[in-house]
Structure 1
Amino acid sequence: MKELLKNKKLILNHIPDHGAWTYNIIIPGSKNIQGKWGSIKVSGTIDGYEFKNMNLAPRKGLDMYMSVNANIRKAINKYGGDTVIVTMYKDSDNKLTDEGDIIACFRDAEVLTKFKALEEEERTIIITDILSQADESSQEKKILLEIKKLSNKTGQ
């Protein structure tokens, strides 16, 4: 888990008639986290109250925010405009970032020899495609697809 905040003072925002997002906290420094709604999960504490597997909401060019539901607000006895102390971790940060990680996956799946037998251009396309995926889940699907293709290759 990657630490996003450690005992950071934030304002519990209140935006009337904003649906599930009526009460929220803005997560400073989060605008460059990659992912779309539902794929960015966080856990941590708000004023000592533990929360798990909550969604961050991306906002184009702005820091993300997290809804603070009634259960949490009741437990910490806080209202819109109050200051809260937040510690937050990104639940999953296992996105592959370099070619060596992908090569290791192919080695573990016992298809590295077949991968190395491909033309350099084809290898580059495969690696680039996997690394360009937006999140860990998409990368995993691409890697499994390539392993399956390589496993089915004969004569190499």
Structure 2
Amino acid sequence: MSSIKAIVDQKLILEKMEGKGGWTFARVPKTTANTGKSYGWKNLKGTVDGFKVECSLMPLNKEYWFMPVKAEIRKMVGKQAGDYIQVLLYAEIQELHTPEDFLLCLQDDPQAFEHYRKLPDDEKQKYIDWIFATVDEELQVQRMADAIDRLSRNEKLPKKVLSAGKPA
């Protein structure tokens, strides 16, 4: 199940990077476009001056996301660098689903279950993705046990575990 949430609804100024072929973009304050993660691209849908768009935000600096605005969009809305555009962007928020077998195992360890319950959804998703990244049921069971052990000690999954796809 998913829900739609407006994360940006404001007037922003179009800017152009200097130099030949410089991008035209809008700075989106990170406080208005907080999707629960602090890194990477944000894929969104919405409108620019009423024109439907699908776009990606990427980090510009600590305060702003960089939203490229294609020439096609600028032409359709009759805007260029220096003009203001009305930006309305939505992120589709996926409801987290913890697989039943992992949930049952977690409930056997109250400390691990409580810690898991308090994690943000993106951290929970990392555990789920890592455990079920393999079709080998024995490896899934091993990963569940490792995850529960880490959760009971209030530890996060190390990046090397996530990137290698195997227990540390």
Same fold at TM > 0.5: yes
Superposed CA offset, 1:6-64 (max 9, x none): 3x221111122386x621111133475424333x1111111111002x11111342121
Q: What's the counterpart of residue 61 of structure 1?
A: 62
- Structure 2 residues without counterparts, runs of 5 or longer: 146-168
Which TM-score applies when normalising by structure 1? 0.64
Query: Using a 3 Å threshold, how does the CA distance of structure 1 residues 22 and 150 change in structure 2: closer, same or farther?
Result: same
Contact 1:9 1:85 in 2 (8 A): yes
Contact 1:57 1:65 in 2 (8 A): yes
2:107 is the counterpart of 1:116: yes
SS in 1 for 2:74: helix
Contact 1:115 1:150 in 2 (8 A): no
What letter matches 2:98 in structure 1? C
- Structure 1 residues without counterparts, runs of 5 or longer: 97-103
What letter matches 1:75 in structure 2? M
Correspondent of 2:7 among 4, 7, 11: 4
Query: Using a 3 Å threshold, how does the CA distance of structure 1 residues 37 and 117 change in structure 2: closer, same or farther?
Result: closer
Contact 1:56 1:65 in 2 (8 A): yes
Q: What's the counterpart of residue 98 of structure 2?
A: 105
Query: Using a 3 Å threshold, how does the CA distance of structure 1 residues 133 and 3 change in structure 2: closer, same or farther?
Result: closer
Q: Offset at 1:84?
A: 1.1
What letter matches 1:113 in structure 2? L
Higher relative contact order (CA 8 A, sep 6+): 1
Superposed CA offset, 1:56-99 (max 9, x none): 11134212120001111121121100111111112x33475xxx
Q: What's the counterpart of residue 138 of structure 1?
A: 126
Q: What's the counterpart of residue 141 of structure 2?
A: 149
- Percent identity of paired positions between Structure 1 and Structure 2: 21
Which TM-score applies when normalising by structure 2? 0.60
Contact 1:111 1:150 in 2 (8 A): no
RMSD: 3.7
What letter matches 1:149 in structure 2? V
SS in 1 for 2:132: helix
Contact 1:44 1:50 in 2 (8 A): yes
Q: Counterparts of 2:66 and 2:25 in 1: how far apart (Å)?
A: 6
